[in-house]
Structure 1
């Protein structure tokens, strides 16, 4: 029986098998199969994807195309190559000055506003629950106040006569002998804009910090006490910060976008254009060429430069705070 069984196995035809790894599937085919498999999920995502494509992707592509043309709205776009970019970096001294002012503003208000928003959110998270709404509303309201309404208050504070609140008190205590022109002096324009922007910088990032801090599990703090954590700063460094890393990343990205898009505050406080272009930012330069001079091709080149600056800074932030 054993010999017969062995003979039967030997006389069977060999089974054909494929050797080597399977052929790679095309990316588009793989995406299509994934969409068919998860069609309900993609159907629910469709409204967002359509709106995002129409109002974000298409305008970005259009701006890039128009940046290589001369377009004044009246005439059809005329291709001019790199002339707009050459004019920006070689002949447009005001643009180069606006870049310097914007970067100075971003490197001051970005980190400072970011740290200030997190510290205020952390302090609010330490107080009893019934008082948090009041303090959150107080710090968040300036960020949703219109620039016009906000400028009314700050124009009164920084007014360049004796009726200005700061000038009034500085003269009373003897620091100044005559009113100081805060909004006309080129040396004080940028600091004033920075102060006002910091006051109104408690926006979406601040709310994200507050939400993340309130969702840190209390078990981590109890485990930290067992492991030797005794002080609040130790809890903050070893437990809180690692637990809210996604919110830290989101807040950093939003702060970069906010700091590079400063325009309304500058225009309402020091006018358009500001004295000797001392408060002229990239977005103000873009507004000047797009909606005053109607040179849309040149304005598109400015928009592309601003977009690349935001993209580069965001990539840096993802490298520092991001994770796989």
Structure 2
């Protein structure tokens, strides 16, 4: 006799919805909606940054592919400006070499000097720090024109020049040396003056970071066996001010690659045999003397990517956790 019980069927479970990968832009939009108040507060800066930084960069990149002399409308010439820049413009290649030489000397030396001076000032009593900070920071906010008056007197190529006077009095020289006309001494002079003026924003950032290192870290280090100042510097201070170290390195690279005013005020424009000619001086020459804005834009683009590449290298070394 057959059973009348219904046979049980397998339960049909609803299939899960297909997995949809959320794109990067969707995540960004969701983050903007979630933190919209913060983005409202950032909006003024973002607008100014877009109009005065991003748009000029994009405009320069676009003009670098044109011939533009301000009077006529820009005319597209393709890669002609870059071909002329890297193949036929010997002065530009010389300017690149001088700029890199200047950057690789003043960059590390100025960076180390700024940190060591800031560290030394942070070790002295609080009531004296303002005086020493003012003494070292003042040259960086003084215009190159004003500073050149002092340095032109020091490096003057006659007996009235202070260095020549001292060297002749000491019997080291028999006749005045032309510091600002000799091609072998122009770059060293510019480096010396630039180092004197390099205690700028990075120096203040170092000083602020050093003064905000918690004292509890030094007390804990003393318990763990740290006894000397250099041990505190290596094991406690440097890790604690790593953000300031990164910021100071970026600012030092920007300062080193943008040297121009010091060179122009000391050795003129152009310098003797282009011995002090930098990338920014070459840019100024074509933009504001020859009014070849398309070619000047190509120079600016090269300088921008050179600066960007060096900054990325710095972030690789100092930006990690």
TM-score, with structure 2 as normaliser: 0.95
Q: Which residue of 1 aligns with 2:87?
A: 90
Distance 2:205 2:64 in 1: 35
Q: Which residue of 2 aligns with 1:3?
A: none
Distance 2:31 2:176 in 1: 69
Distance 1:121 1:64 in 2: 39
**1:97-154 Cα distance to aligned partner (Å, 9 max, x none):** 0000000000000000000000000000000001001100110010000111010110
Q: Which residue of 1 aligns with 2:233?
A: 236
1:75 aligned onto 2:69? no
Q: Which residue of 1 aligns with 2:4?
A: none
Unaligned runs of 5+ in 2: 1-7
Q: Tell me how large the CA RMSD over aligned residues is.
A: 1.5
**1:13-46 Cα distance to aligned partner (Å, 9 max, x none):** 76635266x4123333333333232222111101
Q: Which residue of 2 aligns with 1:178?
A: 175
Distance 1:82 1:19 in 2: 51
Distance 1:26 1:224 in 2: 46
Q: Which residue of 2 aligns with 1:6?
A: none
Give 1:249 deviation, angstroms. Answer: 0.6
Corresponding residue to 2:263 among 241, 266, 282: 266
Give 1:255 deviation, angstroms. Answer: 0.3
Corresponding residue to 2:191 among 170, 189, 194: 194
Q: Which residue of 2 aligns with 1:38?
A: 35
1:122 aligned onto 2:126? no
Count of matched residue positions in the alignment of Structure 1 and Structure 2 = 314
Q: Which residue of 1 aligns with 2:320?
A: 323
Give the secondary structure class of the aligned counterpart of 1:159: coil
Q: Which residue of 1 aligns with 2:16?
A: 18
Give the secondary structure class of the aligned counterpart of 2:40: helix
Give the secondary structure class of the aligned counterpart of 1:124: helix
Give 1:202 deviation, angstroms. Answer: 0.3
Q: Which residue of 2 aligns with 1:142?
A: 139
Corresponding residue to 1:100 among 74, 97, 102: 97
1:255 aligned onto 2:246? no
1:156-171 matches, within 5 Å, as 156-171=153-168
Distance 2:24 2:91 in 1: 46
Give the secondary structure class of the aligned counterpart of 1:100: helix
TM-score, with structure 1 as normaliser: 0.94
Distance 1:267 1:201 in 2: 17
Q: Which residue of 2 aligns with 1:56?
A: 53
Corresponding residue to 1:295 among 292, 299, 319: 292
1:215 aligned onto 2:212? yes
Q: Which residue of 2 aligns with 1:5?
A: none
Corresponding residue to 2:62 among 57, 60, 65: 65
Distance 1:30 1:222 in 2: 44
Distance 1:181 1:265 in 2: 17
Distance 1:257 1:155 in 2: 25
Give the secondary structure class of the aligned counterpart of 1:187: coil
Unaligned runs of 5+ in 1: 1-9
Which stretch shows the higher mean deviation, 26-35 or 305-314? 26-35
Distance 2:160 2:233 in 1: 45
Distance 1:39 1:296 in 2: 40
